[in-house]
A and B are shown apart, each in its own frame.
Chain A
Amino acid sequence: MITILRETMQSFLTFLERVGLLVRFALRLAAILPLGLLRPRPIIEQVYNTGAMSLVIIMTCGLFIGMVLGLQGYDLLTRFGSEEYLGTATAISLLRELGPVVTALLFAGRAGTALAAELGLMRATDQIAAMEIMAVDPMRRVVLPRFLGGVIAMPLLVSIFIVVALFGAQLVGVEFFGVDSGSYWSQMRSAVELSDIREGLVKGLVFGVACSLIAVYEGYNAMPTAEGVGRATTRTVVISAVVTLILDYILTALML
C-alpha cells in the first residue's frame, strides 16, 4: 500500500518536473521572441518546411473526412427529411471541431515528428554544440524559427483542411446523393456565424503553439543517440495527440 502510494507520488513528481522543464523552455523561447522576429527569413523557410510539406497529407485527409461527413450527414439528415441542412451540419462540425483537431493530429504526425527528428539529429551530430561553440545561441537560430513556423502554419493548414473537406462533403452530398447545390451552400452561409470561424482559428492557433512547442522541446532535449531520437519522435506524437484533445475540451468549454 505504502509502496503504491510512494510510486504514485514519485511519478507525479516526475510529471511535475517535466512540466516545469517544458514551461522553462517555453519562457526562454518567449524571452528571445522579439530577437527572432527581427529575422523573418528563417521563419518563412520554416513555414514552408512545416506548412507546405504537410499540404498533401492535409488535403487528402480533408477530402476524405469531408466525404465521410457527407455520407454520414446525409444518412442522418434524411431520417428527419432535412437533407438540405447538410451544408450547415458539415460546416459547423468542421469549423468547430474536426478541422482544428484532425489537422493538429496530422500536423503532429507529419511536421511534429520531422521537427523532433531533425533537432534530435542536430543534437546527436554535435551541430547544436558546434553552434554554441561558435557563440551562436541555438535556441534563437534553430529552435525559435521552427517553433514560429509551426505556429504560423497551423491556422493556415486548418483553413485549407476545412475548405477541402467542405468540397468533399459537397461531392458526396450534392453530386452523388442529389442534395440541392443551392441549398447546400446557402444554408451554410446563413447558419454559420463569425464565432464559428473564430473558434476554429483560435483552436488552430492554440494547437499550433502546443504541437510545435512539444515537437521542438522533445527534439532539442533528445538523448544524443539513435534510440534517443526515435524516442523523441514517438513522444512528440503521443504527447501532442493527448494534449490536443485535452486542450480541445477546455477551449470548447470556454468558447461555448
Chain B
Amino acid sequence: MDSGKIVFSALDIEIRRGAVTAIMGPSGTGKTTLLKLITGQIFADRGQVIVDGLDVARLNRKQLYALRRRMGMLFQNGALLTDLDVFENVAFPLREHTRLPERLIRTIVLTKLHAVGLRGAADLYPQQLSGGMGRRVALARAIVMDPEILIYDEPFAGLDPISMGVVLRLIRSLNDALGITSIVVTHDVREISQIADQSFIISEGKVVASGTTAELRDHPSPIVHQFVDGLADGPVPFHYPAPGYHEQLLGGNAFA
C-alpha cells in the first residue's frame, strides 16, 4: 500500500452466513489486508466491502464502531492487553460497552473462559500464558460480546500440534454452538480443511480457486495443486527473481 503496490485486483469473495470460510494463500498475498478491509481498518481504492448489507467504507465512525461490536477478531498473536489479567482482558469489552452489574460480568466472563477451557487461568497475566493459551483467552474475549461474525487471523501460527487441535475444534464448535459466521485466514491447509465449509485460495491479488475441501483437492490448476500439497517449486517459484545463476557466479564481479 505504501509502496503503491496493488494488493488485490478484481477480487470477488462471497462469505456465507453461519459457515466456516477459509481464506488461504501463500504468505504475502494480502490475507491480513483482506481482514483489515472487512473490519474497516483500511479502505480499498476501488470496489466495495459489504458486511451484512452495509458498505464498510461508507460508514461514519459511529456506524463503523456499531458494526464492529457485532464482530469479534482473533489476532495472530492474541493481542491481549498486557496490563490486565486474563479475567479483565475478557471482561474488557463488557466493561467498555455495557453497564452490567459486576456479578453478571463475572458470570459471563467465567462462562466464556470455561468454553475455551481456561476458567482456572483467570488470575494469570498474559505474559504467564503459553502461545496456545493466549490465543484461547483472546478467543474468549472475541466471543464475550456474542458476535455474529468471528474473524481469525492465522489462528494456528506457531502452535504445537495439541494446541492447534484445540483451537481447531474450538473454531468449529463455537461456530455451530453460537451460530456465528467464521472467517479463518490461514496457510495451514491440512488443518483448516478438516473444518472449513468453503475455502478460497488467493494468489497474486485474485481468487485462484474456491469450493469445498474435496473440490480443492481435485482442482486442475497447478497453483492450487502446489499450495494444497505443499510443493516447494511450481507456479509460485522457489527462487526469488534473480539474474542467471551462471552469469552471476562466473561474471567479473564474483570476487569483487
Contacts and interface: CB of A to CB of B under 8 A. Distances in A.
**A and B associate:** yes
Given A125-B82, A135-B65, A130 B97 contact: no
Contacts of B79: 125-127, 129-130
B92 A134 contact: yes
A127 B77 CA distance: 10
B97 A135 contact: yes
A137 to B, nearest CB: 8
A133 B76 contact: no
Contacts of B69: 134-135
Interface in B76-102: 76-77, 79-82, 92-93, 96-97
- A interface, size bucket: 10 to 19
Interface in A124-144: 125-127, 129-137, 141
**Which of B66, B75, B76: most chain A CB closer than 10 A?**
B75
B73 interface: yes
**Which of A122, A126, A129: most chain B CB closer than 10 A?**
A126
Given A126-B76, A130-B73, A130-B75, A135 B82 contact: no
A136 B93 contact: yes
B82 A133 contact: no
A137 B65 CA distance: 9
Nearest to A140: B96
A133 B77 contact: no
A122 B82 CA distance: 8
A141 B41 contact: no
A128 to B, nearest CB: 9
B225 interface: no
A127 B78 CA distance: 9
A148 B97 CA distance: 23
Contacts of B206: none
Nearest to B64: A135
A141 B39 CA distance: 20
Contacts of B93: 134-136
**Which of A129, A130, A133, A137: most chain B CB closer than 10 A?**
A133
A121 B141 CA distance: 20
A133 B81 contact: no
Contact of B96 (A121, A126, A133, A134): A134
Nearest to B35: A133
A129 B41 contact: yes
Nearest to B95: A136
A132 B81 CA distance: 13
Contact of A126 (B68, B77, B92): B77
Interface in B156-191: none
A32 B230 CA distance: 51
Contacts of B65: 135, 137
B57 interface: no
A116 B186 CA distance: 32
Interface in B41-91: 41, 65-66, 68-69, 71-73, 75-77, 79-82
A170 B242 CA distance: 73
A174 to B, nearest CB: 45
Contacts of B73: 130, 133
A133 to B, nearest CB: 5
A125 B77 contact: yes
Contacts of A133: 39, 41, 68, 71-73
A141 B77 CA distance: 21
A121 to B, nearest CB: 8
A129 B75 contact: yes
A130 B145 CA distance: 14
Contacts of A136: 92-93, 96-97
Contacts of B81: 122, 127, 130-131
A111 B150 CA distance: 38
B60 to A, nearest CB: 13
Interface of B: 39, 41, 65-66, 68-69, 71-73, 75-77, 79-82, 92-93, 96-97, 141, 145
Which 6 residue pairs of A and B lie closest in terms of their CB atoms, listed nearest first?
A: A126-B79, A130-B79, A135-B65, A135-B68, A133-B73, A126-B75
15 contacts: A126-B79, A127-B81, A129-B41, A130-B73, A130-B75, A131-B81, A132-B68, A133-B68, A133-B72, A134-B93, A134-B145, A135-B69, A135-B97, A136-B97, A141-B96
Interface of A: 121-122, 125-127, 129-137, 141
Given A126-B77, A135-B69, 17 more contacts: A125-B82, A126-B75, A126-B76, A127-B79, A130-B73, A130-B80, A132-B68, A133-B68, A133-B71, A134-B69, A134-B141, A135-B65, A135-B93, A136-B92, A136-B93, A136-B96, A141-B96
